[in-house]
Amino acid sequence: MPDFSLDLSEDQLQLQKWVHDFAEDVVRPAAHEWDEREEMPWPIVEEAAKVGLYSLDFFTQCAADPGGLMLAIAAEELAWGDAGIALAILGSTLAVSGILASGTPDQIGEWLPQCFGTPDKIQTGAFAVSEPDAGSDVSSLRTKATYDEKSDEWVLNGTKTWITNGGIADVHVIVAAVDPELKGRGHAAFVVGPGTPGISQGQKFKKHGIRASHTAEVILDDCRIPGANLLGGKDKLDLRLARARGGQKTRTQAAMSTFEATRPLVGAQAIGIARAAYEFALDYAKERKTFGRPIIENQGIAFKLSDMRMEIDAARLLVWRACWMAATKKPFEAGEGSMSKLKAGEVAVHVTEEAIQILGGYGYTRDYPVERWHRDSKIYTIFEGTSEIQRLVIARAISGMHID
């Protein structure tokens, strides 16, 4: 058996440095501006596309990493630069994950390139699940997909909310109810391609944090798409629905398949935010003097920084374990994906708050970036499943029981 090692491979180290340099040279200097503007940072996305960071090739290269860590490494470094801009660059991978989770090889080949476009023609993707009355409870989706047999089309109606790239994306992956009586087992995922009539942007949200990431409602009003845009195909859906109606066990529902794949990557972003705040607070504590000596020489400060570093490292190990398990096809028997996202999100909130405390009044002003990192961190305990939902997933996994 090979020796156990946590050393990154040469390819992983090179990728880490490449993405970190982009985050340091391009993302971080632009972070304050785009946080204030609260707009999609198209110039930064274009720069990422020019260097190959925003591309299908980059995504597939990372996804092919046998250890499963490359995407997590990239996500951490980008979020170290700025979480909002990181989400603007990484947001399309949500749609990619949705297509990979349910699509046929032909669908994957057709739609994945359109989620990124080219450096000369940037395209984006969006994954739309949440609704005004169905956030954590995805089994209660009201968006309906009705099949029109005469025209071989699906007709989508409903409203999605809190959607990254919602309404501005070229490719929307929509999770909708085909048979509402079956709850989550009656859901399916559909691709709405560029220029499709009947899909539009609703309210754009003004957010507490991650302001450079576009978040909005998606309105579906008799939106007609070809039958071929049902991910996985109708034969597979009909078989799954028949099994569900007969009381047989079915595969994981469409939304959950994507969340299982992306939760550790969300955790990696949270770690990037926490690391940025920790490093800034550490440097500040070494330089800031009170009563004639650096404040890090006080145990009250030194112990805070010790705990911050320990928690960041622990969270990263959980994320890396989940990514490795996913890449090596090991089942999440104890909710390991949820563990990683839960721990990382809560660590990010705690570490950024402690960073503000270490900086004192300066940390509370926009002259220093720690207040932005604190604002950015909070969403990581909310989106892609709140901390409470993650604990529920873990509890069900370890007990084998249905816990409400």
Domain segments of the chain as ranges? 10-121, 123-245, 254-399
Strands 171-177 vs 125-128: parallel, antiparallel or unpaired = parallel
Domain 10-121 coded CATH 3.40.50.970:
no
User: How far from 349 is each of 184, 248, 271, 313, 393, CA to CA, in Å?
Assistant: 31, 42, 10, 15, 21
pTM reported for the whole predicted model: 0.93
pLDDT value for 246: 84
The second-level CATH assignment, the architecture, of 123-245 is Beta Barrel (2.40)
Q: What is the pLDDT of residues 214-232, one digit of tens each?
A: 999 999 999 999 999 999 9
- Are domains 123-245 and 254-399 of this chain identical in fold? no
Fold classification of 254-399 is Butyryl-CoA Dehydrogenase, subunit A; domain 3 (1.20.140)
Strand (E) positions, 165-296? 171-177, 187-192, 199-204, 215-226, 289-290, 293-294
**Alpha-carbon gap, residue 153 to 289, rounded angstroms:** 69
pLDDT value for 28: 98
Amino acid present at 265: L
Strands 171-177 vs 153-164: parallel, antiparallel or unpaired = unpaired
Q: Is 331 helix (H, G, I), strand (E, B) or coil?
A: coil
Catalytic residues: 384
**Alpha-carbon gap, residue 149 to 152, rounded angstroms:** 5
Listed in sequence order, the residues at least 6 apart from 94 whose beta carbon sits closer than 8 Å to its beta carbon are 125, 126, 127, 164, 173, 258, 262
Q: Which residues of the chain have pLDDT under 70?
A: 1-2, 135-137, 249-260
The neighbour count for residue 195, using CB atoms within 10 Å, is 7
Q: What is the pLDDT of residues 144-197, one digit of tens each?
A: 999 999 999 999 999 999 999 999 999 999 999 999 888 888 999 999 999 999
pLDDT value for 182: 87
**Alpha-carbon gap, residue 174 to 95, rounded angstroms:** 9
